[in-house]
Amino acid sequence: MKRAAAVIGILAIAVTACSGGGGAPGVPGSSGKDAAGGPVTIRWSAWGSADDMKLYDPLVKKFESEHPNIKLKLEPVAKYEDYHPKLLTQLTSKTAPDVFFVGDDNIGKFVSAGVLTSLNDKLSGPDSKSKPEDFFEGVYGGAKKDGQIYGVPNDTNPEVLWFDKQALKDAGITENPAELYAAGQWTMPKYLEMGAKLVKAGKSGSLFWNWYGSTYSMIHGFGGKAWDGAKFTATTDPKAREALQTLAKGYADKTFVSIDLLPASNGGNTQFLKHKAGFYAGGRWVIDIVKKGGDLANYDIVPFPSPDGKPMSGAVAASYMAMNKDTQHPKEAFQFLTEFVSKEGQMVRLKGGGAVPSVKGAESVVLDGYPEHAQTFLDVRDKGFANYPEEVAVPGLTAGINDYLLKVWQGKVPFDQGMTELQKLVEGKLG
């Protein structure tokens, strides 16, 4: 949850409320046209801080000026961990907003609950500003089920490895990871070799948040599979198991450090800016962190390494814009949704921001000159994957896997025992 607040809050920031009253759909006078025949009010919800909300005023103002028949009313929730329980309660009681964000670790639960509108026909229709094919297939994740689209990725954050040139130099590392990647030589053995040199120099190798993005990217980097169809294979696939064992050993000797376990006074951000670690796994949102260090040229990015140096599929954090199945104003609600996630909408929202567009054609937002190899964000997005649909379809499964793995990383459970128990945990939740 700490990472969710730090990352997905940046990824899926909401727009400030500009106007309109509103209450529950179905309550006379609470939405739709007022007594004087005024515009329809579309209620929508997202998570994020008050400062986050202000970043997107231009989009709301633009939308309302172009659609005078629609007023937008935002109902924000500050904390990510509070957001989805509240929204699910509202949907059950028929008091939910018309349009809302859903995180990639919760989308499967909402799809299974049958509370979201299937968007296929609307996205393909004449009023759509964002066609289904405008988005990268792997990023749909659990928002797509049986060919039906229940949520549109509003933006993304591909998981990459930020690296500190000064820390690498201090450890006697002369090779540049981004240059190795460009030459087809950025391999898992080379990455682990750098980690060992960093530890020998008294530094940490890589700073990871304890979430599926870094864990599954490492599994892919060994050529393994975390899931094979509907079967959880992270503990049984030989290469996936090797990746997890490498992580467990690495967490024991500081080749890897879990940011979740660091004290607030000396967290991952502080350690990275003080050149105490060579790599920091994160998305475009890390730009805001390195800006605080003052030496932007010292930092760059590279994808997670692969077994043979060739590009591979890495994790992409995503969130989705979905529509209440019971909205009384489906036309106006979809109008807002489709423009919010469209190329034009994302370019307005993400300019200077900490996320990567999920839609094709808005790449210029990312290629603004920083970091040097910003194209890497797009490369990982284009080939990447949001969390596996089979995993996010089971409420609490992702959190259960992450929490249990953290025990293994801390050495509280022996590795082999941990793999056996993790498999049982997953199979128990899958039923």
What residues have CB less than 8 Å from 207, skipping those under 6 apart?
256, 257, 259, 268, 271, 272, 277, 279, 280, 281
Shared-domain flag, residues 260 and 131: no
What phi and psi values does residue 242 have, to the nearest 5 degrees? -60, -40
Looking at the fold, whether 342 and 409 belong to one and the same domain comes out as no
Q: What is the pLDDT at residue 55? A: 72
The CATH number of the domain holding residue 178 is 3.40.190.10
11 and 46 Cβ atoms separated by less than 8 Å: no
The two tokens of residue 335 are 């109008």
List, for residues 390-427, the tens digit of each pLDDT value: 999 898 899 999 999 999 999 999 999 999 999 999 99
Is 389 among the domain residues? no
Averaged pLDDT score across all residues of the chain: 90
Is 9 part of any domain? yes
Is the pLDDT score of 16 beyond 80?
A: no
Same domain, 28 and 131: yes
What's the pLDDT score for residue 5?
Answer: 46
Could you tell me if 69 and 203 lie in one domain? no
Give yes or no: residues 309 and 323 share one domain: no
Q: Do 106 and 202 sit in the same domain of this protein?
A: no
pTM: 0.89
Tell me what percent of the residues of the chain surpass a pLDDT of 70.
91
Give domain status of residue 388, yes or no: no
Mean pLDDT of 150-170: 97
Co-location of 354 and 423 in the same domain: no
Distances 2 to 20, 28, 258, 369, 388 between C-alpha atoms, Å = 33, 40, 12, 30, 21
pLDDT over 60 (residue 167): yes
pLDDT of residue 53: 72
Residues 294 and 344 both lie in one domain: no
pLDDT one-digit tens code per residue, 361-394: 999 999 988 999 999 999 999 999 999 999 998 9
Task: Output the pLDDT for position 2.
Answer: 47
pLDDT bin (cut points 50, 70, 90) of residue 3 is: low
Residue 99's beta-bridge partner residues? 44, 323
Q: Are 142 and 289 members of one domain?
A: no
Are 239 and 338 in the same domain? no
By residue range, what is the domain housing residue 359? Answer: 2-156+319-368
**Measuring CA to CA, which residue among 309, 339, 341, 129 is closest to residue 223?**
309
Residue 362: inside a domain, yes or no?
yes
- DSSP code per residue over 318-341: EEEEEEBTT-S-HHHHHHHHHHHH
Average pLDDT over residues 118-128: 97
82 and 62 in one domain?
A: yes
Phi-psi region of 318 (alpha: psi -120 to 50; beta: other; left: phi over 0): beta
- The answer as to whether 377 is a domain residue is no
pLDDT at 294: 79
> Is 235 domain-assigned?
yes
pLDDT at 37: 64
Range from 26-30, 115-119, 242-246, 250-254 carrying the lowest mean pLDDT: 26-30
* Measured CA distances, 227 to 7, 58, 109 (Å): 24, 41, 18
Q: How many domains does the chain have?
A: 2
402 and 273 in a common domain: yes
Is residue 385 domain-resident? no
Beta carbons of 67 and 38 less than 8 angstroms apart:
no
Q: Is residue 379 part of a domain?
A: no
The whole-number average pLDDT for the span 70-89 is 94
How far apart (Å, rounded) are the C-alpha atoms in residues 179 and 130?
36
